[in-house]
Amino acid sequence: MGSWRKAYGALKDSTKVGLAKVNSEFKELDIAIVKATNHVECPPKERHVRKILLATSANRPRADLSYCIYALSRRLSKTKNWIVALKTLIVVHRLLREGDPMFKEEFLAYSSRGNILHIANFKDDSSQSAWDCSAWIRAYGCFLEERLECLRVLRYDIETERLVRYPQTSSKVHSKTRTLPSPELLEQLPALQQLLFRVVGVQPEGAACSNYLIQYALALVLKESFKIYCSINDGIINLVDMFFEMPKYDAINALAIYKRAGLQAENLAEFYDFCKQLELARTFQFPTLSHPHRFLQRWKSTSEKHPDPRSRVRRARSRSY
């Protein structure tokens, strides 16, 4: 049965390539997409991904970008094969990570008209291992959806964010969240925390744990998790510094964000411990996670300037009214 599925998949791929050569106005792009997302159980070949990246670069017409997104969306929505679905999501992820900012803008605009990564009902029930892989693919799709939503809220991509020194005399670099004003910080931190929640949600189970293609995609998620966590940590430090100056309602939200950060640090540490047992761990240098409770020292040192915290709360309440 497995050999028959492979032969049938190869036939479908070759047929689509043949049709693209004859009928498509975007022949080269269509062929690259089919070949990058074929039925062969291995990561998308780099030369095909590079062709797609080139076809969606800034010097190409906007129509090319729109068509690429449409073609990938169509490929994802029509397939019932977990390999094709996963390779399509990997290509999308690579484009979001490495593609031109213009492509990301177009992707956001396209997704606002319809959720092109929504694969909550996707399943390949051809075997038990395909079933386990399908479950992981749905979780991966949720992560990519949340990544888009985070990009929409933040209005910048933390993966390509340029880190800065703060203060200027320091040798340590920080994320943008380290210097954000309170209103923007209270908007962006929940979005980042929700994205980190989706990161932890991609922990594979069953046959998916040992699958090489899934570990390849998981590695992409792991790479992003490092910056997401650092961005949240820098934001928490900033939040603690501003806490006693916040109005009551903002202070309540800040406290909820702080508590969630503590739980997420523990969950992420467990997730990293799990990933260290996988084959992909050989190529990774996992960071040492700093629990947000260490920021209590900063909180305490700040509160020493305000010996009566209740008076601070009363003043915060009066400002909020």
Please give the class, per CATH, of domain 139-286.
mainly alpha
Q: What pTM was computed for the model?
A: 0.86
Q: Which fold has domain 1-118?
A: 1.25.40
pLDDT (tens digit, 0 to 9) for every residue of the chain, 321 residues total? 456 566 656 656 667 666 666 566 788 899 999 999 999 999 999 999 999 999 998 888 888 898 999 999 999 999 999 999 999 999 999 999 999 988 899 999 888 777 778 788 899 988 999 999 999 999 999 999 999 999 999 999 988 876 766 665 465 778 899 999 999 999 999 999 999 999 999 999 999 999 999 999 999 999 999 999 999 999 999 999 999 899 999 999 999 999 999 999 999 999 999 999 999 888 888 877 766 555 555 555 555 555 444 444 444 434 433
List of residues 6+ apart from 164 with CB closer than 8 A: 173, 174, 176, 179
Please choose, from the candidates 104, 135, 108, 102, the residue with its C-alpha nearest in 3D space to the C-alpha of residue 120.
135
Q: What whole-number distance in Å separates Cα of residue 110 and Cα of residue 159?
A: 21
Domain with CATH 1.20.58.150 in the chain: 139-286
CA distances from 138 to 35, 61, 133, 191, 214 (A): 22, 32, 9, 20, 12
